[in-house]
Amino acid sequence: MLPGLGISHAPYMLQFTISTTKSTVIGPSTSCTGGGGMAMRRGATPLAIVVALCLIAATRTEAQLRVGFYSRICPKPELIVKQEVKKAVRANPGIAAGLLRLHFHDCFVRGCDGSVLIDSTWRSTAEKDTLPDKSLRGFEVIDRAKRRLEAVCRGKVSYADILAFAARDSVVHKGFYQVPAGRRNGRISRAADVIDLPPPAFNLSLLTPFFTKKGLSQDDMITLSGNQKRNSKVCLSFRGRPFYHGQTSKQDVGCNAYRAAQLKRRCPLRSNSVVPMDSPSPFTFDTSYYRNLLVNRGLFTSDQTLTSTWATAAKVRQLAGNPMLFQRKFAAAMVKMGKIGVLTGRRGEIRRYCRRTN
């Protein structure tokens, strides 16, 4: 699963004002976008209206994202991003996984708002300078795409959308799903917020809430983990697993004996070497990640734990044997993840520079 890989909207508060006349006014407070109240007769059922208002408020931000958002304000932004991703991947195939991981880390911390790109200042440490984000790659690809976009439509395309487009294009370099756009950039990047990233040492029961609180299901979690195979990991990141020390644990499903011996050879005690997640096909977008899990070759606890229950193991087997199903589910899960905590409308900004706010 993607270590350091929910929909996190601020809750919408509803105020109830009972007037001295024969009507009750129910309206969203200032934490909702847009104004206007709703009047009803005393005989009406207030609960139904409250529920309706909550549903409208909760989906309003998501509804402002749409495919083709830039069609009238910027010529072919997705094509420009795709071209830059294609050039970068041709020069370095490993950058594809890095671009997708950038989008994941961005969305899970404060929502998909481009905050992962902001630099630290003398007053505060930003997300990118924390331990989980130190190994992020692909910033230069985002920079190049933004420079080209600013040349043709200044101040129109957000970094948050560029990250979403680049993540899509990094998968197959031709984009097999459409990305709703319209995200704006956040102005805050805090080291403390990376606590929302799922740790690689967590088991299934601990991992699942990290996704559900963001609006993603356990099924989404298993599906999104499939891209993890294209990453490479530093030895230190998995050296704490029990198998490395010749131990077993109820919380850790364990590791295939051959794989365990291989990892120990590649990662002696004080080594900080880098190990590919999937040695046979490290840069190919396929289902070998799941096939490896079925024979206990998962690198992290958070990988192998996906086979720790009958229900999750069944989903792993299903994806392992059906590449087309995996691609469809992966596309749907990526679109869903791309809607986490987005800023739209007048919230946030369109940053001119990657590393600092306007």
Q: Residue type for 222, please? A: I
Token pair belonging to 269: 């005690």
Token pair belonging to 140: 């230069």
The residue among 140, 145, 137 whose CA lies nearest residue 162 is 145
Question: CA–CA separation, 351 vs 150, rounded Å?
Answer: 10
Give the DSSP letter of residue 294. Answer: H
Q: Which one is catalytic: 9, 103, 105, 173?
A: 105
Q: Residue type for 40, please? A: M
Question: CA–CA separation, 315 vs 222, rounded Å?
Answer: 8
Q: Residue type for 64, please? A: Q
Token pair belonging to 307: 């086979």
Map 191-238 to HEC letters. HHHHHHCCCCCCCHHHHHHHHHCCCCCHHHHHHHHHHHHHCEEEHHHC
Q: Which residue has the tokens 């630099």?
A: 119
**105 flagged as catalytic:** yes
Question: CA–CA separation, 276 vs 282, rounded Å?
Answer: 6
Q: E strands, the chain, where? A: 14-18, 23-28, 38-41, 232-234, 274-276
Q: Cite the active site residues.
A: 105
